Structure 1
Amino acid sequence: MRVTLALPHELGQAEVSRWRALQEADTAFDNPFLSPEFTLTVGELRDVVRVAVIHDGPDIVGFFPFERHPLGIGKPVAAGLTDAQGLVYARGVRIDPLRLIKACGLSVYEFDHLVAGQPLLNARHERHPSPIIDLRDGYDRYTETLRANSGKTYKSTLAKQRKLDREAGGVRHDYGITDVEPLRTLLGWKTDQYRRTGRTDRFAHKWIVELVERLLATQSESFAGVLDMIYAGDEPVAGHFGLRTRTTLVGWFPAYDTRFAKYSPGLIQHLAMAEQAAKTGVQVIDMGRGQKEYKDKLKTGEFEVAEGRVARASAGAGVHWVVRVPVRKTRATVMANPLLLKTADKALKTYGRLRTVLQG
């Protein structure tokens, strides 16, 4: 194994094409966060992004995108935003994870959404479910499954959509929007949601807003930003921005106008999105790791992602352990305990309400 390092913009067209070919050759890598276009776009905005190009003799057999931070701390590209992380590589190639991170100049590489089957993965790493909507047999088959497993949710969502149609004007769904103005409306709802629930507002960072806008403008057969919105009359009600490959759409930023909350607009939007996505060839909607009620209601299966780190014996890895690992283990304990999770969520929402009042 030989590793060369590059900034994303230094990759040539042949290398990008090879990355895409390796990705499309294995369904385990069928996620837009693992696409070259995602890393290239983030690299335009973040000078910490690197790509390790892995060679076996004269052949390129893998790509490892990552961010390199002080003390040799390595993180996934756009860490904290991505729901799929890891290498894209040729199956059958043996990759030593410690040799790899050493070649990358890293003391440690941490991750929280490492996809299955990675050479970075070991038995100590924590596994988590990533709920999916399976559309491989079409939207009608999906709704049959939904009726069988979540019949009450499906019927009530359709009833609320009819009520919204009657009371607020004709309901329509626009899928695959490329206009930036609806996106900004959606991001405004998402900012309000972050503040209301006590979470950090990701869109307070200008580079994240710029990233999302650039990804919306990226439209090709193998990779695209996908924006869809639900309207009642001319009024935007709910929407979602995600990314897709040819066959996988990832859930990323769903949000809705809280004035329409009684109609369950998020569920209406997700069902409409699934129907239109299936028509365009999408086979799986990956809703991403995280316990959310709407995911439990809509899912038909799960993928698995892992959380942990790969570390070499070094001072940087030691500092990273002290700063990060106890916090991660505490969070995992809270997430695994329904009572603790409910208490923490309630505390965050209380903090969000207080913050809103003080800022108002």
Structure 2
Amino acid sequence: MKVSVVRPSDLGAAEIGRWRALQSSDPDLANPFLAPEFTLGVGRFRRGGPGRVDVLVGVVEDAGEIVAFFPFERGPLGIGHPVGFGLTDLQGLIAPPGLTLDARALLRACGLAVWDFDHLLAAQGTFAPHHTVRRVEPVMDLGAGFAAFDEEMRRSAPKTHKTIRYKERKLGRDVGEIRYVFASDDSEDLQRLMDWKSDQYNRTGRTDRFARAWIVALVEHFHRTGFGVLSVLWAGDEPVSAHFGLRSEGVMAGWFPAYDTRFGKYSPGMIGHLHLAEGCTLNGISEIAMGRGGKEFKEGFKGREIPIAEGRVARNTAGAGVHWIRATPLNKARGAVLDNPALYKRADRVLKTYAKLRGRSR
């Protein structure tokens, strides 16, 4: 096999067409984070430079035919990650089911000492020997239409469904008539969502992703091009919650949900998700990949799960050794927290307390 490494912008129409054809070979590859638009977008706005990250694609050929694409980021010392690492909820090779490559040979051809992943499609055989943890990612199954989804949720999660509908009615009575805009092209709506999300990050002690100019530019680009769908829940004249997701054909990937904290008692995010499900079915979308995290909230919505894995592939190089020393203890601690609901809640409280103390010291 031959591996050529190119920048995403160097891929031509034939390569993009082949990428899409490979996506269609496996339902889980249809996820927007694995679509060419995502890699092209990150490659455009996360530009490389000295000491910075390069966004690249390994094009794998066999007998003159492209059999796989391997999108990745490469940093100093050959440290590699999936494209959009920290922003993406699904990662992997764009390849037909059953294709298994030599993972270390692939890294060598791509100039990587190590490739660190945390949301990898677990079914891909190429990286299976390098998994350290396996988890699942919940998916909202809308294939039978919204009425069927709503009824199934009413049956399988009656308490959650009843609570959402009650709070929705109360929001309508207290604030104003409920309406939902599935796809807003208003830049002010997008800015409001980013402001809400930045406030949430700071309030809960997380890193503010929208403090990074390239992420803001990336989200704005996806919004302009239609790859990103901005949905807004209104109560009367008040915008209450919003969601920015990515769409690729019939699949949406949840990305940035946010809400106005003034209306927090109404659980506007959960109300918005139910309306998002209805909007998706009316617009040709049959499933929503919700990403891992916030597991309790998502249990009532899920219809199926995608097995994902965390781990790393490493070659015997100095760069890989340095990366192991830096990353392994942190990854183990994070994994322990994610897998233990009690630890997750405790860590969340600690972060929120830290955020309050940080705010007072300013």
Note the C-alpha offset of 1:123. 6.3
User: Aligned with 2:191: secondary structure?
Assistant: helix
Find 1:265's aligned residue among 253, 265, 268.
268
Alignment-derived partner of residue 287 in structure 1: 290
Alignment-derived partner of residue 243 in structure 1: 246
User: Aligned with 2:284: secondary structure?
Assistant: coil
Note the C-alpha offset of 1:169. 1.3
Aligned equivalents of 2:152, 2:35: Cα separation in 1 = 30
Kept in 1: contact 2:70–2:94 (CA 8 A): yes
Alignment-derived partner of residue 56 in structure 1: 62
Aligned equivalents of 2:291, 2:167: Cα separation in 1 = 26
Alignment-derived partner of residue 150 in structure 1: 157
What RMSD over aligned residues (CA atoms) do the two structures have, in Å? 1.3
Within 5 A, what are the aligned runs for 1:1-360? Answer: 1-46=1-46, 47=48, 48-118=54-124, 119-122=126-129, 124-219=131-226, 224-359=227-362
Aligned equivalents of 1:114, 1:107: Cα separation in 2 = 18
1:268-316 Cα offsets, whole Å, 9 max, x none, are 1000000010121211111101134321232233211110101111111
Amino acid at match of 1:231: W
Note the C-alpha offset of 1:108. 0.5
Kept in 1: contact 2:131–2:310 (CA 8 A): no
User: Aligned with 1:25: secondary structure?
Assistant: coil
User: Aligned with 2:182: secondary structure?
Assistant: strand
Amino acid at match of 1:113: H
- TM-score (normalizing by structure 2): 0.95
User: Aligned with 1:228: secondary structure?
Assistant: strand
Which ranges of 4 or more aligned residues in structure 1 deviate by more than 4 Å? none
Kept in 1: contact 2:233–2:241 (CA 8 A): yes
1:121-174 Cα offsets, whole Å, 9 max, x none, are 226431112111111111111111111121122112112111111211111100
Cα distance 1:195–1:146, how it changes in 2: closer, same or farther (>3 A)? same
User: Aligned with 2:117: secondary structure?
Assistant: strand
Kept in 2: contact 1:136–1:284 (CA 8 A): yes
User: Aligned with 1:254: secondary structure?
Assistant: strand
Note the C-alpha offset of 1:228. 0.2
Aligned equivalents of 2:62, 2:310: Cα separation in 1 = 28
Aligned equivalents of 2:157, 2:319: Cα separation in 1 = 48
Aligned equivalents of 2:134, 2:99: Cα separation in 1 = 24
Aligned equivalents of 2:130, 2:115: Cα separation in 1 = 16
Aligned equivalents of 1:268, 1:332: Cα separation in 2 = 30
Amino acid at match of 2:314: A
Kept in 2: contact 1:195–1:355 (CA 8 A): no
Kept in 1: contact 2:130–2:311 (CA 8 A): no
Note the C-alpha offset of 1:92. 4.4
User: Aligned with 1:343: secondary structure?
Assistant: helix
Alignment-derived partner of residue 51 in structure 2: none
1:296-346 Cα offsets, whole Å, 9 max, x none, are 232233211110101111111111111101211122122223332222111
User: Aligned with 1:298: secondary structure?
Assistant: coil
Amino acid at match of 2:312: R
Aligned equivalents of 2:145, 2:202: Cα separation in 1 = 37
Aligned equivalents of 1:292, 1:336: Cα separation in 2 = 10
Cα distance 1:291–1:266, how it changes in 2: closer, same or farther (>3 A)? closer
Cα distance 1:234–1:77, how it changes in 2: closer, same or farther (>3 A)? same
Taking only the aligned residue pairs, the percentage that are identical comes to 52
Aligned equivalents of 1:28, 1:339: Cα separation in 2 = 31
Q: Which runs of 5+ in 1 are unaligned?
A: none
Q: Which runs of 5+ in 2 are unaligned?
A: 49-53
Moved more, 263-272 or 283-292: 283-292
Amino acid at match of 2:44: E
Note the C-alpha offset of 1:106. 0.4
Kept in 2: contact 1:28–1:116 (CA 8 A): no
Amino acid at match of 2:64: P
Note the C-alpha offset of 1:354. 1.7
Kept in 1: contact 2:131–2:312 (CA 8 A): no
Amino acid at match of 1:90: P
Aligned equivalents of 1:291, 1:166: Cα separation in 2 = 29
Aligned equivalents of 2:139, 2:100: Cα separation in 1 = 30
